[in-house]
């Protein structure tokens, strides 16, 4: 489903070229659960941004399903991110003035076309993540783990092909983190493609496949 060939990303800082990715080849099949790890500066966050179409590579080819990402203009990239990629971040990014249900429905505001049955599906998702009795609550009335589960439900609303998670347990205690990782494992068992970026080796070991980044390259891939 994901095909990266020779992906490079170079930034210009005060007239100097700083390589963040240096020729990444990575292929991820539909329904895989992959953890991308590496030390700070290894390139894992830049790789996540490329996978999520938040940043364009300086060189190389990226195909997501049938989309050649390099050929898409900004509007097409926005549509791709909205409809085919779900994002879960370390900070939950829930809007405090909205209810939990309204937060989960937020992706609809960026859709060009109506999505029939979206509210019913949002309620179903909140039930699945254990928040059926919290739909009318505000985010500040939830625990950190509950807020992250609400964020996961929001990411799944439009049934994305790819779910990207960036340090999703970074703000959680160990028990709550285990619950959230269990939810990712459940989604994977149901066929969801999950790519998780983490610096924590214990979190990475929960994924069936681990990819380790070093100096902007894939240093190890347990699925290769």
Task: Give the model's pLDDT for residue 97.
Answer: 96
pLDDT band, very low/low/confident/very high, at 107 (cuts 50, 70, 90): very high
Mean pLDDT over residues 103-129, rounded?
Answer: 91
Distance CA 195, CA 212 (A): 13
Task: Give the model's pLDDT for residue 158.
Answer: 93
Distance CA 129, CA 176 (A): 13
Task: Give the model's pLDDT for residue 16.
Answer: 87
Distance CA 14, CA 37 (A): 29
> Is 162's pLDDT higher than 90?
yes
Mean pLDDT over residues 20-44, rounded?
Answer: 94
* Strand extents, DSSP E, the chain: 2-13, 16-28, 33-37, 59-64, 67-68, 85-88, 162-166, 193-197, 209-214, 217-221
Could you tell me which of 49, 129, 141 has the C-alpha nearest to residue 89?
49
> Is 223's pLDDT higher than 90?
no
Split into its structural domains, the chain has a count of: 1
Distance CA 213, CA 43 (A): 6
Distance CA 2, CA 11 (A): 24
| CA distance between the termini of the chain | 15
pLDDT band, very low/low/confident/very high, at 159 (cuts 50, 70, 90): very high
Q: What is the CATH number of the domain that holds 197?
A: 3.40.50.300
Mean pLDDT over residues 220-224, rounded?
Answer: 85
Q: Tell me which of 83 and 97 has the higher pLDDT.
A: 97
Mean pLDDT over residues 207-220, rounded?
Answer: 95
Q: What are residue 158's phi and psi, to 5 degrees?
A: -95, 20
Mean pLDDT over residues 204-219, rounded?
Answer: 94
Domain interval for residue 205 = 2-221
Task: Give the model's pLDDT for residue 21.
Answer: 95
Tell me the chain's radius of gyration from C-alpha atoms: 17
Mean pLDDT over residues 66-77, rounded?
Answer: 89
- pTM for the complete prediction? 0.90
Distance CA 20, CA 43 (A): 5
Mean of all residue pLDDT scores within the chain: 93
Output the CA angle 74-75-77, nearest 5 degrees.
65
Distance CA 132, CA 82 (A): 25
Task: Give the model's pLDDT for residue 112.
Answer: 73
pLDDT band, very low/low/confident/very high, at 224 (cuts 50, 70, 90): low
Distance CA 12, CA 204 (A): 31
In the chain, what's the furthest Cα-to-Cα distance?
54
pLDDT band, very low/low/confident/very high, at 105 (cuts 50, 70, 90): very high
Query: How many other C-beta atoms are found inside a 10 Å radius of the C-beta of residue 26?
Result: 22
């Amino acid at each position: 489903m994901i095909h990266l060939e020779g992906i490079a990303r170079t930034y210009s800082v005060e007239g100097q070229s700083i390589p963040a990715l240096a020729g990444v080849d990575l292929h991820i099949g539909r329904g895989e659960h992959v953890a991308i790890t590496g030390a700070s500066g290894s390139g894992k966050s830049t790789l996540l941004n490329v996978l999520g179409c938040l940043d364009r590579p300086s060189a190389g080819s990226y195909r997501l399903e049938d989309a050649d990402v390099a050929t898409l203009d900004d509007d097409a990239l926005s549509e791709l991110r909205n409809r085919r990629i779900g994002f879960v971040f370390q900070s939950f990014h829930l809007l405090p003035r909205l209810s939990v249900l309204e937060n989960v429905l937020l992706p609809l505001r960026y859709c060009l076309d109506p999505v029939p049955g979206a509210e019913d599906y949002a309620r179903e998702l909140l039930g699945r993540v254990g928040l059926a009795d919290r739909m009318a609550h505000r985010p500040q009335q939830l625990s950190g783990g509950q807020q992250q589960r609400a964020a996961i439900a929001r990411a799944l609303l439009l049934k994305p092909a790819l779910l990207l998670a960036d340090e999703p347990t970074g703000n959680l205690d160990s028990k709550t983190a285990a619950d959230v990782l269990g939810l990712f494992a459940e989604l994977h068992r149901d066929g969801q493609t999950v790519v998780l970026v983490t610096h924590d080796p214990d979190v990475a070991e929960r994924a069936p496949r681990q990819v380790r980044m070093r100096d902007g390259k894939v240093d190890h891939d347990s699925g290769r």
